Amino acid sequence: AGPVESKNEAAMSELVPEPRQKPAVPMKPMGINASLLGYIGIDTIIEQMRKKTMKTGFDFNIMVVGQSGLGKSTLVNTLFKSQVSRKSSGWNREEKIPKTVEIKAIGHVIEEGGVKMKLTVIDTPGFGDQINNENCWEPIEKYINEQYEKFLKEEVNIARKKRIPDTRVHCCLYFISPTGHSLRPLDLEFMKHLSKVVNIIPVIAKADTMTLEEKTEFKQRVRKELEVNGIEFYPQKEFDEDLEDKTENDKIRQESMPFAVVGSDKEYQVNGKRVLGRKTPWGIIEVENLSHCEFALLRDFVIRTHLQDLKEVTHNIHYETYRAKRLNDNGGLPPMTVETEENHESNL
């Protein structure tokens, strides 16, 4: 029986091809024990980056949009604890409401702990103040796209600057009127169009005009309306990079948004401490007290935890989308303007 079996096996091996060998998987590098081989110093890259950033500083451009009288200027001043808004920079109290939406950008350099930040506050006086507010978001969208275009032109130059000036809008605070009812068609229309080109953070202005119950109900209603209308606000779900980001951002999306805030640049004495607040006949509303309003949450979110991410999402998502569309419309070539042609000729 033995020889017959071996013959059959030989016949089978001729019919069935030998299974292909799997490619060799490279071994994972062994963990290097730093204590054995001595200190290398890879961790100093963080300190090197910090020093470089401190030398060069960085840009942050924040836009405020909403009807007049919602405390936009006051809130921005409160956020940065400085007089940075348009109104505090030589604004004339007799200035009339503009007939169309205007764009006013004011730049400041703020320094804290040796870190320099070139802050630009972009105000939009006239938004939502007319009888007919149809398409009043268009000048704002145009301005945002113009900044992308400016950056793109600098980027495609043959002899381009080492550091391109960044005027792109990194964050847009959209002020919702504290009606307690629902969002106006204008609010929905603005956020629907602009959420595709800029990071929108919705805030409920002058939240001290509502009771705690009204505030909670209004926040839930606004969240629901944004969801029903398919409006994505920052931080967008699809841009969460890992589970930690997702968990943190889900909490913000489901609990904090939209931030119900109160702004004030006036200081008062409360229990022996100087606090920013608003004085009312029944007491002082403390701006940075979480049981009074969510200003501290907004400040921590915009400045202390997500400022770098706002800049990255602007560059990697919104600007990239604009750039790809612009180059695609132009047949894959950088947009040639008189200026770039002149630069090209001078370089030749």
pLDDT in tens, 14-69: 555 555 555 555 555 555 554 557 788 888 998 888 888 777 888 999 999 988 88
On the question of pLDDT at 276 being above 60, the answer is yes
Could you name the CATH architecture of 57-85+98-263+291-328?
3-Layer(aba) Sandwich (3.40)
- Does 118 have pLDDT greater than 50? yes
CB 102 within 8 A of CB 125: yes
C-alpha–C-alpha distance, residues 115 and 289, integer Å: 27
Instruction: Give residue-wise pLDDT tens across range 244-262.
Output: 888 888 888 888 889 998 8
Query: Poorest-confidence range of 124-133, 232-241, 282-291, 309-318?
Result: 282-291
The pLDDT of residue 6: 53
Region for residue 128 given its phi and psi (left: phi exceeds 0; alpha: psi -120 to 50; beta: otherwise): left
Of the two residues 78 and 315, the one the predictor is more confident about is 315
Higher per-residue confidence, 340 vs 167: 167
* 207, two tokens: 């939240």
Domain ranges across the chain: 57-85+98-263+291-328
For the chain, the three-class secondary structure string (H helix, E strand, C coil) is: CHHHHHHHHHHHHHHCCCCCCCCCCCCCCCCCCHHHHCCCCCCHHHHHHHHHHHHHCEEEEEEEECCCCCCHHHHHHHHHCCCCCCCCCCCCCCCCCCCCCCCEEEEEEEEECCEEEEEEEEECCCCCCCCCCCCCCHHHHHHHHHHHHHHHHHHHCCCCCCCCCCCCCCEEEEEECCCCCCCCHHHHHHHHHHCCCCCEEEEECCHHHCCHHHHHHHHHHHHHHHHHCCCCCCCCHHHCCCHHHHHHHHHHHHHHCCEECCCCCCEEEECCEEEEEEEECCEEEECCCCCCCCHHHHHHHHHHHCHHHHHHHHHHHHHHHHHHHHHHHCCCCCCCCHHHHHHHHHHC
Between 339 and 53, the higher pLDDT residue: 53
Q: What is the pLDDT of residue 87?
A: 64
Predicted confidence band at 339 (pLDDT cuts at 50, 70, 90)? low
* pLDDT tens-digit readout, 165-196: 899 999 999 999 988 788 888 899 999 999 99
Structure tokens at 335: 């947009």
Say if residue 11's pLDDT is above 60: no
